[in-house]
Structure 1
Amino acid sequence: MASRIVTKKSGNKPVALVIGASRGIGRQVALDLALNGYIVVVAAKTSSDASKTTPFPPDPNSNHSTINTVEREIKEAGGEASAIRVDTTNPSSIDALVNRTIEKFSRLDAVIYNSGAIWWASVEETPLKRFQLMQRVNVEGLYATVQAVLPHLKRQPSGGRIIVVSPPIYSRFFRGKTAYAMSKVAMSVLVKGLAMDFQRQGLDGKLAITSIWPAVAIESAATGRFTQKDPSMANDLRKATIFSDCILAMLAAPAKTVNGQLELDEDFLRTHANVTDFSKYSVVPGTSPRRIMPAELPDLTVKEQDDEGQRVDSAKL
């Protein structure tokens, strides 16, 4: 498993773009990528004057944590970072983010898409505006990001990686949050589909797209709303470091191993990083947080998986 200390690398450092990195899980991912040799572009919508933030660092799950405070945290820890504001509902803003990243660092090696909008309720109790926001941030934001970064990732001699925070596909996930599930599962479909594109193009040894999802609920701004009402719920939470450790392990794995995979953090670390003791990730020491994901997930392939018939490519018609 990746270390949690600064790793010195020879030559040009790899550049990671973390979208949705102002607080919570995204902040932890940005910090740990920087501590492991990456130059990190910290991107999200929330910005501030980090020099005036007191006390520092702020609560990582509060609104006082912004892309600028995360940038400051990374630099004070000895890493390299640049904060760039982005609105993931606006494709032009995403294009500008990627262009500024390339202008500043002349390369892009890894993209982590952590930006997300959440609304858990029945279809009847989910207003159309909430549904549309989730589609724009979760699905369209990811799609626009992929379109913007692919040309740059393809240019990297060592290849490039995209990691998406989206779930495995299974029916129980739809229950009680259909609109949200529609947006998140669509992200996972993009992971599967783009991975197939890489395979067809003979790029799956160089490029990879992978999804990551928590097996156990993780401490974040979202879960903080529940623990404020019932502090005992913290017993069922893990620290965000499990996510960043898993992402580091994914980035270190061969592209063909992870391309198109919909992974759970715990299971990937157990299988690919030989982690057997997860106690250090418990928010409350000595507890065994409840797993929220199924132990086994459905296989999405069919017997006729390789039979495409006469495939049509609209882009070439």
Structure 2
Amino acid sequence: MSPEKQVALVVGASRGIGRQIAIDLAKNNYTVVVSAKTTSNPHTCVPFPPDPNSPASTINTVALEITNFGGSATPIAVDTRSPTSIQNLITTTITLHSRIDVLIYNSGAIWWASVAGTPRSRFQLMQKINPEGLYATIQACLRHFAAQAWKGRIIVVSPPIYSRFFRGKTAYAMGKVGMSVLTKGLAMDFQREGKSDMAITSIWPATAIESAATAQVTKRNPEEGRDLRKPTIFSDAVLAMLKAPTEVVNGLLDLDEDFLRREEGMTDFGRYSVVEGASPRRIMPRSFPRLEVEEQDDEGKRVESNALRGKAKL
């Protein structure tokens, strides 16, 4: 995909990884729609730019950061718990920019605890923002990808699928793994339907990345910073995924470091360390189980529910 003034919608772009992705997309000549729930008047923000991991960083400050260096950015608020708000985001983006070439879904809610320690209300919140928000956002975009002759990319912040990920955070994992299942399933739809210019990919960090959550930890113990990487490793991997051929990334569940190492030939990751000279501990496995089975291509007799009900697909 050529990045010449293509339109990238980044959902969950007010802080941390999402902010960095939006900024680096703009530096690579994308027109960026910066979207999240938090808004503010960026002209009253002192100091500017704000700490990228603080509540002072909003879609408005991120958009102003981008326009200040000559990039193109539009802030549009969204509550990913609300399908109506999501539809308004997509409609407004199309009205302003006529198209969406890249959708990046970074919005997320987190609660790491056992099943007994996770209230049902917290479980429901995570499902609304994580898999349901992603599903609603993708569905709202699909008709516009169809209008663009099915040319586009979708990148989801969700992990490879493996059982250790469930330990101690089952409720959170149910939603995040569900997002990865959506990546796999939609990729199969694209492939089966001959949409060779469409790709959906999931990406996850190999090591802990500096964020609002880690800032609380390092404030108590600065030594913890030695195990952190800058969010630029994540945005560099996203940019590399967008440049890669669709057949390489469609349906891929990968890690930032692993993709850069394998596809970009990168071997030195020292520049991403928050503490110069440190070697952050990898928190993800070195390899993952294969999800395919021997009978992978055997669908049996396929029946579409829409066909049975007489409803047309996109």
| TM range, smaller chain | over 0.9
- Return the offset for 1:153: 2.0
Kept in 1, the 8 Å contact 2:3–2:30? The answer is no
Q: Does 1:271 align with 2:228?
A: no
User: Structure 1's 283 and 121: CA in aligned 2 closer, same or farther, altered over 3 A?
Assistant: same
Alignment of 1:242-257 (within 5 A): 242-257=233-248
For 1:123, the aligned partner's letter is V
Kept in 2, the 8 Å contact 1:154–1:207? The answer is no
For 1:258, the aligned partner's letter is V
Instruction: Give the whole-Å Cα distance in 1 for the aligned partners of 2:220 and 2:112.
Output: 17
For 2:203, the aligned partner's letter is I
Corresponding residue for residue 23 of structure 2: 31
Kept in 2, the 8 Å contact 1:153–1:161? The answer is no
1:164-200 deviations in Å (ceiling 9; x for gaps)? 0000000000000000000100000000000000011
For 2:20, the aligned partner's letter is Q
The partner residue of 1:52 within 21, 25, 44 is 44
Corresponding residue for residue 3 of structure 1: none
Alignment of 1:184-199 (within 5 A): 184-199=176-191
1:60-118 deviations in Å (ceiling 9; x for gaps)? 00000000000000000110000000000000100000000000011110000000000
Instruction: Give the whole-Å Cα distance in 1 for the aligned partners of 2:146 and 2:202.
Output: 19
Count of residues in correspondence between the two structures: 307
Q: Does 1:262 align with 2:249?
A: no
Corresponding residue for residue 80 of structure 2: 88
Kept in 2, the 8 Å contact 1:41–1:101? The answer is yes
Kept in 2, the 8 Å contact 1:163–1:211? The answer is yes
Kept in 2, the 8 Å contact 1:167–1:188? The answer is yes
Corresponding residue for residue 148 of structure 2: 156
1:179-229 deviations in Å (ceiling 9; x for gaps)? 0000100000000000000011100x2100000000011001122222222
Corresponding residue for residue 213 of structure 2: 222
Corresponding residue for residue 69 of structure 1: 61
| DSSP-derived class of the 2:209 partner | coil
| DSSP-derived class of the 2:296 partner | coil
- Return the offset for 1:154: 2.8
| DSSP-derived class of the 2:34 partner | strand
1:44-71 deviations in Å (ceiling 9; x for gaps)? 0000000100000000000000000000
Aligned CA-pair RMSD:
1.2
User: Structure 1's 21 and 170: CA in aligned 2 closer, same or farther, altered over 3 A?
Assistant: same
The partner residue of 1:112 within 101, 104, 127 is 104
Q: TM-score, normalised by structure 1?
A: 0.95
Corresponding residue for residue 4 of structure 1: none
Corresponding residue for residue 295 of structure 1: 286
Alignment of 1:131-150 (within 5 A): 131-150=123-142
- Return the offset for 1:155: 2.7
Instruction: Give the whole-Å Cα distance in 1 for the aligned partners of 2:146 and 2:199.
Output: 11
Instruction: Give the whole-Å Cα distance in 2 for the aligned partners of 1:28 and 1:296.
Output: 27
- Return the offset for 1:298: 0.3
| DSSP-derived class of the 2:229 partner | coil
- Return the offset for 1:157: 4.9
User: Structure 1's 256 and 155: CA in aligned 2 closer, same or farther, altered over 3 A?
Assistant: farther
| DSSP-derived class of the 2:267 partner | coil
Instruction: Give the whole-Å Cα distance in 1 for the aligned partners of 2:218 and 2:110.
Output: 17
Q: Which runs of 5+ in 2 are unaligned?
A: 309-314
Q: TM-score, normalised by structure 2?
A: 0.96
